[in-house]
Structure 1
Amino acid sequence: MTIKLLGIGKTDDPALQDLTNVYIKRLQFYTKFELELIPDIKNAKNLDENQQKQKEGELLLSRLTASDFVVLLDENGKQFSSVGFSEFLQKRMNSGLKQLVFIIGGPYGFSSEVYQRADSKLSLSKMTFSHQMVRLFFVEQLYRGFTILRNEPYHHR
Structure 2
Amino acid sequence: MNIKLLCIGKTDKQELQDLTEVYVKRLQFYTKFEMEIIPDLKKVKNLDENQQKTKEGELILSKVQNSDFVVLLDENGKQLSSVAFSEYLQKRMNTGLKQLVFVIGGPYGFSDEVYKRADSKLSLSKMTFSHQMVRLFITEQIYRGFTILKNEPYHHQ
Counterpart Cα distance in 1 of 2:123 and 2:30: 23
2:37 aligned counterpart, secondary structure:
strand
The aligned runs of 1:141-152 (5 Å cut-off) are 141-152=141-152
1:101 aligned counterpart, secondary structure:
strand
Q: Deviations over 1:1-44 (max 9, x none)?
A: 10000010000000000000000000000000010010000011
Counterpart Cα distance in 2 of 1:131 and 1:145: 21
The share of aligned pairs that are identical, in percent, is 81
- AA matched with 2:95: S
1:139 aligned counterpart, secondary structure:
helix
Match of 1:14 in 2: 14
Q: TM-score, normalised by structure 1?
A: 0.99
Match of 2:65 in 1: 65
Q: TM-score, normalised by structure 2?
A: 0.99
Counterpart Cα distance in 2 of 1:95 and 1:111: 28
Match of 2:88 in 1: 88
Counterpart Cα distance in 2 of 1:72 and 1:15: 25
Q: Which runs of 5+ in 1 are unaligned?
A: none
- AA matched with 2:131: H
Cα RMSD between the aligned structures?
0.4
Aligned length: 157
Match of 1:134 in 2: 134
Match of 1:54 in 2: 54
Counterpart Cα distance in 1 of 2:143 and 2:44: 33
Q: Which runs of 5+ in 2 are unaligned?
A: none
1:46, distance to aligned residue in structure 2 (A):
1.5
Counterpart Cα distance in 1 of 2:45 and 2:93: 41
Match of 2:125 in 1: 125
